[in-house]
Amino acid sequence: MTIYAAAPGTPVRADYGPAAVDVSAMDKSVPGHVFYAISDGIQRESWGFAPVEHGDINGPGKPFDDDEKRYVDPFFERTMEISKDQYEKLHEFGENPDRFGFDLTYKDIRNNCVDYTWAALNHAGIQRTHGHIGHLEPHGVDGKHSYLPILTPNDFRTIHDPVPGSDLNKEISRELPKRDWTQAPFGTFDRPLTAVSDDPFERLYAATVANDDKAFETIGQEYLQSPEGQAFLQAGQEANRQQDLALQQAQAQAQAQQGPVMSMTM
């Protein structure tokens, strides 16, 4: 499987013939696009979600099966080896997402190609991962963080390889295409992974998207040993104590309502 993210300004072919090579003569994607492709080693197909009527960002939408041929050099690609079951689930979702609860109404950033791709991945059990204080091991999470195609790579990077160590696992990043001022609302840059920040949560996020479990654990431990982290732990411990106390009270009340329990010894 390959996940693609095309930025605003990406050239889009009108046809797929040998003559369709002059990118200067091609239309350019205004908002960008996200889609995925799957292959069983013999047959390859791609799926993406877009408005039925080009440019209608609030109206009927449908899956398209030719995005991989039409979008020229998307700025981000991530390829992962997947299982047969995951392949079949991505295949069945691609053409008929509405059978699995996906809304076929295209609604700007509320229900677009990003939602469709994540819905397909989640249907196949492929999720982004997220770590948080108190639970240092990143865990699978449904859904997305980013709504615009140009901002999606960091989320896609958090997916743990379904088949770790496979020679098929790889990532390709390309230079962003030229964009004009009309595309500014659709994003101008991806969130940097290496930004220096004093915020431990920003640093944890960067470690998570980089799949750097060691850095995540180190940053988490540093935070938990800081005054702020200690206050966080104490608040959590107090919350757990209150929950335990409430459970004990509920159990005692239930036993009182049942009456005394008689026992016999022989």
What phi, psi does 142 have (nearest 5°)? -70, 160
Quote the CA–CA distance of 263 and 266 in Å, as a whole number: 10
* Greater pLDDT, 245 or 266: 245
Give per-residue pLDDT as tens, 154-202: 899 999 999 999 999 999 999 988 766 555 556 654 444 444 556 666 6
Quote the CA–CA distance of 49 and 112 in Å, as a whole number: 7
Highest mean pLDDT range out of 11-25, 29-43, 199-213?
Answer: 29-43
Give per-residue pLDDT as tens, 101-160: 999 999 888 899 999 999 999 999 999 987 665 555 667 888 888 888 988 998 999 999
pLDDT number for residue 123: 97
Give the list of residues 6+ apart from residue 129 with CB closer than 8 angstroms, or none. 138, 139, 140, 141, 158, 159, 160, 208
Q: Which among 66, 39, 11 has a CA at the least distance from the CA of 178?
A: 11
pLDDT number for residue 195: 45
Say which range, 73-87, 108-122, 138-152, 217-231, has the weakest mean pLDDT. Answer: 217-231
Q: What is the mean pLDDT of residues 201-211?
A: 61
Q: What is the mean pLDDT of residues 70-99?
A: 96
Residue 258 has pLDDT above 80, yes or no: no
Give per-residue pLDDT as tens, 44-64: 999 999 999 887 888 999 999
**Segments making up each domain of the chain, as ranges:** 2-183, 226-258
Quote the CA–CA distance of 178 and 73 in Å, as a whole number: 13
